[in-house]
């Protein structure tokens, strides 16, 4: 298994936009946040699938070694720091000093049952490994794409039934993986989709037209999903998908909207965020957002216009995360992210 050696600029831009959408959605309560929740996390799995490739000679040990370096090392490094920070906050700030409270924090970190934003890294690790196994097995079949798509759909349907029957979340978020694999498979298929490649290779006018079309489809399907299920959102953390026959295409259209937009936008800042998305995704909710909110309250700005408040929160959060990213990627601390 390998990701593309040469970075694709629009992929980093799409990841960067996705990070901004995720951060906004975790503190804002407005129509924009509702819109982002129709696709923002599925976007990351679609992009991972687009970059995912398997080498004929690859075996499970090689893949596990590579995934452990790129995902497990950051998970345990960042997770240990976040768990320690949470224990200190509970002890000195909240006055929670029971040993059982400390044990719950570290158990949550190790068992990883929806523990902080690191749930995403755990799911991505398992999803990529399971997808590798599926691809490895599918490559032995004559109609490998048809076989793979069938298996992926069966798993997604089984997961949907599990949720609707009241199934509980599983250790290391195993219950999220089937839906994540579905989005990853869609991204994987896009790589060899001639229609998609023609659009991303076309001029700005055609890309912009495609972006508008996918945006309209996303908004229409989101509205339809809301009418059927009562909500237009997709929240993979809580296994909320609404009416899947509508919500899943809605998420894909939203992801394609961002991809088309990313191929037009040329922003070094957004591309930088996308390149270092692991740090931004992991640390934004527990660290950046609370600190940003505290800063705004300290200066007495919490009652300002809601739009201005949300933009200020985003700027402060991204600034802190950029400083953290520069520190970790620009020094020997990068070993904590598997960069050595």
Provide the domain limits for residue 146: 9-337
> Domain for residue 118, yes or no?
yes
Asked whether residue 2 is domain-assigned, the answer is no
Question: Rounded to the nearest 5°, which phi and psi values hold at 2?
Answer: -155, 155
Q: What is residue 3's predicted lDDT score, i.e. its pLDDT?
A: 44
A 10 A CB-CB count for 248 gives 22
pTM above 0.85, yes or no: yes
The CA distances from residue 152 to 83, 145, 177, 179, in Å, are 34, 10, 11, 9
Return the structure tokens found at 164. 């609707």
Is 38 inside any structural domain?
yes
* 1 within some domain: no
3 found inside a domain = no
Report the domain count for the chain: 1
Q: Does residue 206 lie within any of the structural domains?
A: yes
CA 163, CA 161: separation in Å to the nearest integer? 5
- Residue 140 maps to a domain: yes
Q: What is the spatial distance between Cα 87 and Cα 92, in angstroms, rounded to a whole number? A: 9
| pLDDT tens sequence for the chain (340 residues) | 344 434 689 999 999 999 999 999 999 999 999 999 999 999 999 999 999 987 767 889 999 999 999 999 999 999 999 999 999 988 887 888 888 889 999 999 999 999 999 999 999 999 999 999 999 888 877 788 889 999 999 999 999 999 999 999 999 999 999 999 999 999 999 999 999 999 999 999 999 999 999 999 999 999 999 999 998 999 999 999 999 999 999 999 999 999 999 989 989 999 999 999 999 999 999 999 999 999 999 999 989 999 999 999 999 999 999 999 999 999 999 999 998 8
Q: What does each C-alpha distance from 281 to 20, 29, 187, 252, 338 come to in angstroms?
A: 9, 19, 20, 21, 16
């Amino acid at each position: 298994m390998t990701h593309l050696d040469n970075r694709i600029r629009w992929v980093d831009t799409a990841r960067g936009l996705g990070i901004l959408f995720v951060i906004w959605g975790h503190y804002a309560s407005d129509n924009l946040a509702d819109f982002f929740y129709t696709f923002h996390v599925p976007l990351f799995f679609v992009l991972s699938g687009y970059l995912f490739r398997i080498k004929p000679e690859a075996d499970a040990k090689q893949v596990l070694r590579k995934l452990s370096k790129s995902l497990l090392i950051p998970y345990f490094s960042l997770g240990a720091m976040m768990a320690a920070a949470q224990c200190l906050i509970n002890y000195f700030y909240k006055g929670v000093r029971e040993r059982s409270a400390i044990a719950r924090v570290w158990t949550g970190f190790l068992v990883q049952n929806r523990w902080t934003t690191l749930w995403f890294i755990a799911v991505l690790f398992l999803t990529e490994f399971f997808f590798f196994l599926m691809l490895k097995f599918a490559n032995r079949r004559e109609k490998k794409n048809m076989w793979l798509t069938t298996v992926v759909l069966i798993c997604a349907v089984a997961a949907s039934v599990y949720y609707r029957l009241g199934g509980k979340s599983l250790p290391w978020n195993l219950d999220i993986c089937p839906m994540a694999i579905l989005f990853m498979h869609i991204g994987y298929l896009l790589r060899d989709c001639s229609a998609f490649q023609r659009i991303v290779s076309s001029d700005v006018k055609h890309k912009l037209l495609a972006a508008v079309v996918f945006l309209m489809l996303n908004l229409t399907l989101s509205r339809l999903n809301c009418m059927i299920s009562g909500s237009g959102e997709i929240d993979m953390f809580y296994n909320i998908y609404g009416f899947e026959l509508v919500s899943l295409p809605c998420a894909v259209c939203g992801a394609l909207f961002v991809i088309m937009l990313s191929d037009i936008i040329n922003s070094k800042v957004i591309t930088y965020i996308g390149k270092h998305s692991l740090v931004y995704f992991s640390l934004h909710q527990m660290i950046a957002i609370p600190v940003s909110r505290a800063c705004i309250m300290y200066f007495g700005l919490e009652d300002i216009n809601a739009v201005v408040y949300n933009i200020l929160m985003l700027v402060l959060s991204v600034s802190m995360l950029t400083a953290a990213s520069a520190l970790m990627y620009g020094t020997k601390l990068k070993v904590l992210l598997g960069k050595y």
